[in-house]
C-alpha cells in the first residue's frame, strides 16, 4: 500500500510538472480577468453520458492574452473576477487549457471584453502613457503611434514635438497639450481590441505569441 501510494504521488507530481511546462508555452500572465464562466462547458461538447468540464474564458492582465482556464472543483466565478494563474498556489484555477481563439468567445465574453480592456487601460494609465513617451518609428515612412486609431501623421508629429519639451504625465495631460488628437485613452483601448480579435502585422500591446 505504501509503495502504491508513493508511486501514485510521484505520478501526480510528474503530471503536474508536465501540465505546468505545457502552460508555460503560451501563458506569460500572472493574473487574468474572467470574461465568462461556463459551468457545464461548451454546449456543443454536451452529449448523452458526457461528463462536462467547467470552463473559464479569461484575458490576461499584462499582455491581454485570451486564455481558456479550468477552475478547481466546486469553484464558480463571475465575469470581471481577477484570478491568479501564475506558478504559485492558485485559489481558483486548476490549470490552463491553452490560448483561446477570439472566434470561440461566448457572447457574454465578447460583451465583457471591451469593458474589461477599458478598465485595465484606465488602471494602468502610466504604462500606456510611457508608450506615447517612448514609441519609435516602425520604418522611415510610418511611426508606431500612427497605429493607434485616430492618430495620423499630423497628430503623431504633434505628439512627438510635445514630448520633446517634456514627457506626458497622463491622458489628460496629452489632451490638454495636443489639441488635434482625439481621446488617446479610447484610441489605446480600440487598438488593443483590434490586436486581440484580428491578426495584425504589428503588435503594440498584445503578446503576439497569443495570436
* Predicted confidence (pLDDT) per residue in 79-120, tens digit: 999 999 999 999 999 999 999 999 999 999 999 999 999 999
The distance of Cα 101 from the centroid of its chain, to the nearest Å, equals 12
Residue located via cell numbers 508555452? 25
Confidence check: pLDDT of 8 > 50: no
Q: Phi, psi at residue 124, to the nearest 5°?
A: -120, 40
The pLDDT of residue 179: 81
Ranges of CATH 2.40.50.140 domains, the chain: 2-101
| Residue pLDDT, tens place only, 124-156 | 999 999 999 999 999 999 999 999 999 989 999
With the C-alpha atoms ordered 84, 85, 89, 94, is the resulting torsion angle positive or negative? positive
CA–CA separation, 30 and 190 (whole Å)? 24
CA-wise closest residue to 114 among 33, 53, 43, 49: 33
CB of 89 closer than 8 Å to CB of 117: no
Condensed to tens digits (0 to 9), the pLDDT of residues 149-193 reads 999 899 999 999 999 999 999 999 999 998 877 899 999 999 999
Is domain 124-210 given the CATH code 1.10.150.280 in the classification? yes
At residue 180, the pLDDT reads: 73
Residues 6+ apart with CB under 8 A from 6: none
Residues of the chain with CATH 1.10.150.280: 124-210
Homologous superfamily of domain range 2-101 = Nucleic acid-binding proteins (2.40.50.140)
Q: CA distances (Å), 80 to each of 32, 74, 178, in order?
A: 9, 19, 34
Amino acid at each position: 500500500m505504501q509503495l502504491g501510494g508513493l508511486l501514485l504521488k510521484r505520478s501526480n507530481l510528474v503530471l503536474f510538472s508536465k501540465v505546468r511546462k505545457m502552460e508555460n508555452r503560451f501563458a506569460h500572465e500572472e493574473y487574468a480577468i474572467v470574461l465568462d464562466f461556463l459551468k457545464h462547458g461548451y454546449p456543443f461538447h454536451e452529449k448523452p453520458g458526457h461528463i462536462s468540464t467547467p470552463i473559464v474564458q479569461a484575458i490576461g492582465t499584462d499582455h491581454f492574452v485570451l486564455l481558456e482556464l479550468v477552475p478547481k472543483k466546486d469553484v464558480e466565478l463571475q465575469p470581471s473576477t481577477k484570478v491568479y494563474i501564475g506558478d504559485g498556489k492558485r485559489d481558483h484555477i486548476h490549470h490552463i487549457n491553452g490560448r483561446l481563439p477570439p472566434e470561440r468567445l461566448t457572447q457574454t465574453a465578447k460583451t465583457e471584453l471591451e469593458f474589461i480592456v477599458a478598465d485595465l487601460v484606465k488602471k494602468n494609465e502610466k504604462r500606456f502613457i510611457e508608450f506615447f513617451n517612448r514609441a519609435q518609428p516602425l520604418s522611415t515612412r510610418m511611426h508606431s503611434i500612427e497605429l493607434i486609431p485616430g492618430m495620423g501623421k499630423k497628430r503623431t508629429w504633434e505628439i512627438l514635438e510635445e514630448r520633446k519639451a517634456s514627457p506626458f504625465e497622463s491622458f489628460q495631460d496629452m489632451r490638454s497639450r495636443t489639441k488635434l488628437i482625439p481621446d488617446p485613452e479610447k484610441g489605446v483601448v480600440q487598438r488593443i481590441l483590434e490586436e486581440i480579435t484580428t491578426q495584425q502585422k504589428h503588435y503594440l500591446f498584445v503578446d503576439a505569441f497569443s495570436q
